[in-house]
Amino acid sequence: MRQGRIPSRRDNADVISIAPAPGDITFTCSCRPDPGICPHSAAVGYRVAQHVRANPGVLLTLRGGSMKELRTMVRVHTPTDPAPAPGPEQTRTGTDAHQAFGRFNARPTRPARARTTQTVPAPLLDGLRSDPPAPGLTTRALRLLIRDAAARASALLAGRPLPAGDDPVQDAARLLADPAHRRYLEHAAEQVGLSTLQMRDLALAYVYGGAAGVEVALWPLAADTEVFAHAEAAIQPHRPAPLASLISQDNQLTDAAARVQLRLGSDGRWYPFTDWHGTWRPAPGPSNNPATAYKAARLALRNR
């Protein structure tokens, strides 16, 4: 990201430009070959906006100037007619973001002063009160997308893997797994054609098992009969009604008497589900061991 510098008296005798013009900021990222705003650039821009709002002096540093230089320019400045807008033939100069932040971090620090209270500025987007003109995104959706982009950028910086997010239902479940996004539950369910209850269960499935947990909650998968025979033998000592029948279908092993169902995921783990008013709801505790997953489902029923 690059921004233009603060013009000096030699640039223009009548104009002191502090805030960058709309065309003064450009974005480049290694995730895409062409310039433009990607989720990582949006996250960085949102974070920079928060810093500038909390400490406007950061803007001077990003513009290649200093507070001392600005005071000098204001003292000797005499306003006249507004300067004409820069034409397309003018070449913009700027300060690379890495250099600007390096300069800002290298500045001498002042001794800390005692404070009775500390004011934390609200995120910039929370100040928006109206939606942009159609067909733009609503402020509600914009807040969600930018917060998610910031979270994904943080995960990339920390080296954590990110889900592909190709399926809209799985991606909605991923977003709603964050408690801060639960208020969008009904809207997300409507967008993907599910009921609110189904969408909530998929969000729980992502919390408990990630993308693989959503997958087993959504679709039946093929499974090996020998694997199921081993699973039946493993859970038998833990069944409250050992003589009740077990039902095996696709990747699902159901103990209806115990109100427990295990589903084998594509990652080789067993995912526990419990009966909730006739609906199989995801439970915490997926495991490679079917007996461990079965006990986790029984524990979830006791804690309900």
State which of 201, 219, 237 marks the end of a domain: 219
- Of residues 227 and 114, more confidently modeled: 227
Residues 147 and 52 both lie in one domain? yes
Residues 17 and 143 both lie in one domain? yes
Residue 70 inside a domain? The answer is: yes
Residues 69 and 150 both lie in one domain? yes
State which of 173, 202, 219 marks the end of a domain: 219
Residues 49 and 176 both lie in one domain? no
Residues 64 and 146 both lie in one domain? yes
Contact 58, 104 (CB under 8 A): yes
* Mean pLDDT taken over the chain: 76
Highest mean pLDDT among 25-34, 83-92, 173-182: 173-182
Residues 3 and 69 both lie in one domain? yes
Q: Does the N-terminal peptide bond of residue 290 adopt cis geometry, omega within 30 degrees of 0?
A: no
Considering its fold, how many domains does the chain have in total? 3
Residues 168 and 155 both lie in one domain? no
Domain that holds residue 19: 1-75+94-101+139-160
Residue 87 inside a domain? The answer is: no
Residue 286 inside a domain? The answer is: yes
Residue 262 inside a domain? The answer is: yes
Per-residue CA distances from 213 to 142, 201, 275 (Å) = 27, 11, 17
**Cβ count near 216 (within 10 Å):** 25
**Cβ count near 279 (within 10 Å):** 11
Residues 204 and 259 both lie in one domain? no
The residue-averaged pLDDT of 149-172 equals: 72
Q: How confident is the model at residue 163 (pLDDT cuts 50, 70, 90)?
A: low
The residue-averaged pLDDT of 283-300 equals: 96
Q: Is the pTM of this model over 0.85?
A: no
Residue 150 inside a domain? The answer is: yes
Residue 178 inside a domain? The answer is: yes
- Of residues 281 and 223, more confidently modeled: 281
Q: How confident is the model at residue 294 (pLDDT cuts 50, 70, 90)?
A: very high
Q: How confident is the model at residue 15 (pLDDT cuts 50, 70, 90)?
A: low
Residue 265 inside a domain? The answer is: yes
Residue 33 inside a domain? The answer is: yes
Q: Is the pLDDT of residue 49 over 60?
A: yes
Report the SS3 class of residue 299: helix
Residues 148 and 185 both lie in one domain? no
Q: Tens of pLDDT along 205-222?
A: 999 998 889 999 988 888
| pLDDT at residue 223, rounded to an integer | 82
- Of residues 108 and 32, more confidently modeled: 32
In DSSP notation, 132-181 reads: PSTTSPPHHHHHHHHHHHHHHHHHHHTT-------SHHHHHHHHHTSGGG
- Of residues 161 and 42, more confidently modeled: 42
